[in-house]
Amino acid sequence: MNWETVIGLETHVELATKSKIFCACTTAFGGAPNTHCCPICTGMPGPLPMVNRKVVEYACRAGLALNCEITRRSRFDRKNYFYPDLPKAYQISQLYLPIGRDGTVEVGGRTVGIHELHMEEDAGKMVHIGGGEGRIAGATHSLVDYNRAGTPLTELVTEPDLRTPEEARLFMAALPHYYQEENCLHGFLTERIKDEGGLYAALDAFLPHVTNWAVCDLISPALFKKRPASLMPKIDEWLKSGDVYAVRFGLGMLMAHYLDAPYFTEEVLGRAAGVTSGEYYLKMMVAWLFATALAKQYDAALPYIKDRRLDAWTHNKAIQKAIESRRVTDGHKAELRALKIK
Please report, for the chain, the start and end positions of each structural domain, with discontinuous segments joined by +.
Answer: 10-162, 258-342
The backbone region for 300, taken as left when phi is positive above 0, alpha when psi lies in -120 to 50, beta otherwise, is alpha
pLDDT at 14 exceeding the cut of 80: yes
**What local confidence, expressed as pLDDT, does residue 133 receive?**
58
Cα separation, 289 vs 310, whole angstroms:
12
**What local confidence, expressed as pLDDT, does residue 126 receive?**
85
Give percent above pLDDT 70 in the chain.
Answer: 96
Report yes or no on whether pTM surpasses 0.85. Answer: no
Per-residue pLDDT of 68-88, as tens digits, reads 999 999 999 999 988 888 888
Residues 6+ apart with CB under 8 A from 270: none
pLDDT at 234 exceeding the cut of 70: yes
**What local confidence, expressed as pLDDT, does residue 83 receive?**
84
- Lowest model confidence (mean pLDDT) among 5-14, 15-24, 141-150, 296-305: 5-14
Phi first, then psi: what are they for 140, rounded to 5°? Answer: -85, -30
Bond prior to 165 in cis (omega within 30° of 0): no
